[in-house]
Amino acid sequence: MSAVSAPEPAYRLDEQVGFVLRQVQQRHTGIFAAAFGDDMTPTQWSALVRLAEAGECSQNHLGRLIATDVATIKGIADRLIRRGLVETRADPADRRRLLLRLTEAGHDAYRTRAATALDVSSETLAPLSKTEQATLLRLLDRLR
Amino acid sequence: MSAVSAPEPAYRLDEQVGFVLRQVQQRHTGIFAAAFGDDMTPTQWSALVRLAEAGECSQNHLGRLIATDVATIKGIADRLIRRGLVETRADPADRRRLLLRLTEAGHDAYRTRAATALDVSSETLAPLSKTEQATLLRLLDRLR
DNA sequence: TGCAGATTGTTAGTACACTAACGATCCGGG
DNA sequence: CCCGGATCGTTAGTGTACTAACAATCTGCA
3-state secondary structure string across A104-115: HHHHHHHHHHHH
CA-to-C1' distance for A75 and C26, Å?
Answer: 25
Nearest CA in chain B to A41: B18
Percent of chain B clearing pLDDT 70 (strictly above):
94
CA-to-C1' distance for A67 and D7, Å?
Answer: 17
The reported pLDDT for the residue numbered A8 is 63
CA–CA gap between residue B14 and residue B22 (Å, rounded): 11
The reported pLDDT for the residue numbered B10 is 84
B32 in contact with A, Cβ within 8 Å: yes
| Spans of chain A below 50 pLDDT | 1-2
CA–CA gap between residue A141 and residue A144 (Å, rounded): 6
Inter-residue long-range contacts of B9-14, CB under 8 Å, 24+ positions, other chains counted: B9/A118, B11/A49, B11/A114, B11/A117, B11/A118, B13/A46, B13/A49, B13/A50, B13/A53, B13/A66
pLDDT above 90 for B9: no
B134 in contact with A, Cβ within 8 Å: no
Report the side by side order of strands in the sheet with B56-58: B56-58, B98-102, B86-90
- The H or E element containing residue B102 is strand B98-102
Alpha-carbon separation of residue A8 from A5, B47, B79, B99, B140 (angstroms): 9, 22, 30, 31, 25
The reported pLDDT for the residue numbered B7 is 57
> What's the pTM?
0.91
Interface test with B, best of A32, A69, A118, A143 (most B CBs within 10 A): A143
State the CB neighbour count (10 A cutoff) for residue A23.
Answer: 16
The reported pLDDT for the residue numbered A5 is 55
Interface test with B, best of A17, A51, A118 (most B CBs within 10 A): A17
- The H or E element containing residue B45 is helix B42-54
The reported pLDDT for the residue numbered A4 is 59
Q: Where are the domains of chain B?
A: 37-123
**CATH node for B37-123:** 1.10.10.10
Q: Which of B11, B24, B50 sits opposite A140 (nearest CB)?
A: B24
The reported pLDDT for the residue numbered B2 is 47
Summary mean pLDDT of chain B: 94
pLDDT above 80 for B12: yes
CA–CA gap between residue A84 and residue B53 (Å, rounded): 49
The reported pLDDT for the residue numbered A3 is 53
Looking at the C1' of nucleotide C23, which residue has the nearest alpha carbon? A96
Nearest CA in chain B to A22: B25
Q: Which residues of chain A make contact with B27, given a CB cutoff of 8 A? A: 143-144
- The H or E element containing residue A89 is strand A86-90
CA–CA gap between residue A106 and residue A90 (Å, rounded): 19
CA-to-C1' distance for A2 and C27, Å?
Answer: 69
| B61-115 pLDDT tens trace | 999 999 999 999 999 999 999 999 999 999 999 999 999 999 999 999 999 999 9
B34 in contact with A, Cβ within 8 Å: no
CA–CA gap between residue A13 and residue A30 (Å, rounded): 23
